[in-house]
């Protein structure tokens, strides 16, 4: 160690660890590649599942990239950066998490090969950034147009997104895809010839028991609560709904108050007054014309009795988010004080009814005209399956929303990656210099997607890649891997299509993460600190807990 390095180490706490220069780069590359390899096998419809077991014995079975990385116990900082890629992809698009992480891992691996050839990290970074920018331009040229009215194509996009999940097989895939498209188109809002979709307006409720085919799309909201009183109606047609933020009970004051009662008459007067106040509250609801109440706070037992006598159904302790969805679905206003309640504030629904599902009562608000908040009520045989159905539906929602918002899609099955790689190699020759080697490495990294799809199908990966390259050179730009038939076919004809944004975001996130890690030439970790320093130091040796 040189004199300067000794001085640098002397300023840090005793027991500090440090990895310098090429060793730091090699370690980051190794770990990024290891994470990519861990989830690579989950890619595509024939991808394998992972079983994740926590310290407490909780089990998650999935092949959703974001879920696997989130649940995995990774300690090394480089591994955490890979996890961030998946989170960003999941947040921005909702689909393509595995793709983004695998591309990032192979960008790092190929950069490592270039570093071994004494090509400087700055040159590689410049080449990668040029390639990413070019990829963005190419994706615009290679995209096809789609609109909110192309229902069949949107269903195909949803189906392809769900294909990689273990539940994506069989008849249920098409059925779920149709429900997702119905839900997304219901909440889509048009602004200046452009659609904006807030997927938070689609409530997802799930209950195990029953089959996947029992999943329902409800033009309204499902509340996982029961109607509070047995005497209340359990099935209300033409519901007029009051949405209350205020409690239907006598609230205790926060200031210290002392009530002195010295005789039974005073006690009776006190109780009568309390009853009168509650009766007035119920009368205000009754006068507004409401026959159903959803309350964010509590409802007093006496108020429940008065409501039941008036033939009004009520649900209490409704979550604020559910109350807001009810407002969007029924066009009702959320009221903070009963004095403000009037007929024009009430929401409307075709029917409100209570139903027992898997032994638990739930309240369904259905038949809302022009509902801007809807519900997907998911069912499946076991808890593990219903959780995987939820993950598949969330991915599909993200994919369909992206396709409608951007109005474009590309062909799947690895066809777009092969075409991009071909075009990037041509571009690399024009650029020249050492950067062209980085651009070629970038093109090779994209080809890992069709290569992995071929491997998961049992096809020969090398032969498949060579044939695909030849076909694309001849102009068959939508040729990709038909995973179920284990052959090369036209993806556009088969309807294997994906939103452009999924690919765009995957390439963008992967490039940013890879270039960031390539810039690192020094990793310093101290095991002397309890606030995460120890984990960092332990993680230096590899990925703890993988």
Catalytic residues: 64, 97-98, 395
Residue 376's nearest CA partner among 395, 360, 361 is 395
* Buried b / exposed e along 39-61 (16+ C-beta atoms within 10 A): bbbbbbbbbebbebeeeeeeebb
Distance CA 205, CA 199 (A): 14
| Cβ neighbours around 391 below 10 Å, total | 18
Residue 423's nearest CA partner among 121, 100, 133 is 133
Cβ-in-10-Å burial (0-12, 13-18, 19+) of 13 comes to exposed
HSE, side-chain direction, 13 A CA sphere, residue 231: 11
Helices 21-40/97-116 angle, 10° precision: 140
| Cβ neighbours around 209 below 10 Å, total | 15
Strands 360-366 and 479-482, by their bridges, are unpaired
Distance CA 180, CA 394 (A): 9
Instruction: Give me the residues paired with residue 353 across strands.
Output: 235, 364
Q: 368 near 349, Cβ under 8 Å?
A: yes
Strands 522-526 and 16-20, by their bridges, are antiparallel
Q: 207 near 349, Cβ under 8 Å?
A: no
Q: Which two tokens stand for residue 383?
A: 């808890």
Q: For the chain, first and last CA: distance in Å?
A: 32
Distance CA 435, CA 441 (A): 10
Residue 475's nearest CA partner among 405, 422, 408, 397 is 422
Element (H, E) at 22: helix 21-40
């Amino acid at each position: 160690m040189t004199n300067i390095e000794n001085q640098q180490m002397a300023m840090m706490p005793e027991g500090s660890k440090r990895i310098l220069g090429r060793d730091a780069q090699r370690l980051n590359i190794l770990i990024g590649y290891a994470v990519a390899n861990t989830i690579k096998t989950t890619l595509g419809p024939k991808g394998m599942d992972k079983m994740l077991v926590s310290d407490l014995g909780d089990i998650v079975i999935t092949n959703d990239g974001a879920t696997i990385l989130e649940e995995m116990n990774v300690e090394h900082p480089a591994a955490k950066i890979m996890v961030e890629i998946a989170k960003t992809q999941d947040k921005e698009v909702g689909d393509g998490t595995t793709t983004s992480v695998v591309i990032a891992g192979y960008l790092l691996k190929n950069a490592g090969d270039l570093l071994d050839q004494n090509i400087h990290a700055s040159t590689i970074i410049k080449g990668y950034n040029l390639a990413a920018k070019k990829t963005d331009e190419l994706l615009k040229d290679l995209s096809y147009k789609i609109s909110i009215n192309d229902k069949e194509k949107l269903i195909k996009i949803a189906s392809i997104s769900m294909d990689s999940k273990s539940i994506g097989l069989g008849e249920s895939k098409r059925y779920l895809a149709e429900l997702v498209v119905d839900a997304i188109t219901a909440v889509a809002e048009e602004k200046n010839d452009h659609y904006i979709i807030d997927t938070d307006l689609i409530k997802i409720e799930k209950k195990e028991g029953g089959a996947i085919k029992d999943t329902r799309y409800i033009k309204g909201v499902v509340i996982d609560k029961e109607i509070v009183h047995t005497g209340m109606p359990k099935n209300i047609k033409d519901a007029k709904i009051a949405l209350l933020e205020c409690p239907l009970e006598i609230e205790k004051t926060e200031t210290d108050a002392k009530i002195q009662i010295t005789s039974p008459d005073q006690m009776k007067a006190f109780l009568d007054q309390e009853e009168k106040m509650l009766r007035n509250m119920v009368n205000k609801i009754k006068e507004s014309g409401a026959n159903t109440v959803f309350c964010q706070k509590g409802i007093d037992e006496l108020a429940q009795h008065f409501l039941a006598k008036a033939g009004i159904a009520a649900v209490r302790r409704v979550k604020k988010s559910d109350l807001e969805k009810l407002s969007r679905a029924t066009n009702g206003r959320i009221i903070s004080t009963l004095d403000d309640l009037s007929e024009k504030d009430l929401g409307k629904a075709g029917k409100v009814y209570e139903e027992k599902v898997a032994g638990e009562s739930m309240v369904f608000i259905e038949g809302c005209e022009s509902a801007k908040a809807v519900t997907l009520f998911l069912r499946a045989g076991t808890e593990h399956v219903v959780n995987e159905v939820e993950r598949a539906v969330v991915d599909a929602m993200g994919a369909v929303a992206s396709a409608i918002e951007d109005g474009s899609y590309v062909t799947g099955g690895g066809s777009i990656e092969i075409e991009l790689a071909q075009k990037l190699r041509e571009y690399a020759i024009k650029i020249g210099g050492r950067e062209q080697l980085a651009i070629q490495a970038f093109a090779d990294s994209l080809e890992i997607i069709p290569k992995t799809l071929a491997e998961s199908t049992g096809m020969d990966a090398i032969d498949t890649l060579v044939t695909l390259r030849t076909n694309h050179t001849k102009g068959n730009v939508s040729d990709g891997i038909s995973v179920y038939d284990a052959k090369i076919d036209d993806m556009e004809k088969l309807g294997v299509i994906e939103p452009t944004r999924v690919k765009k975001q995957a390439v963008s996130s992967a490039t940013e993460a890879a270039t960031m890690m390539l810039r690192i030439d020094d990793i310093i970790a101290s095991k002397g600190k309890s606030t995460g320093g120890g984990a960092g130091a332990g993680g230096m040796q590899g990925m703890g807990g993988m």
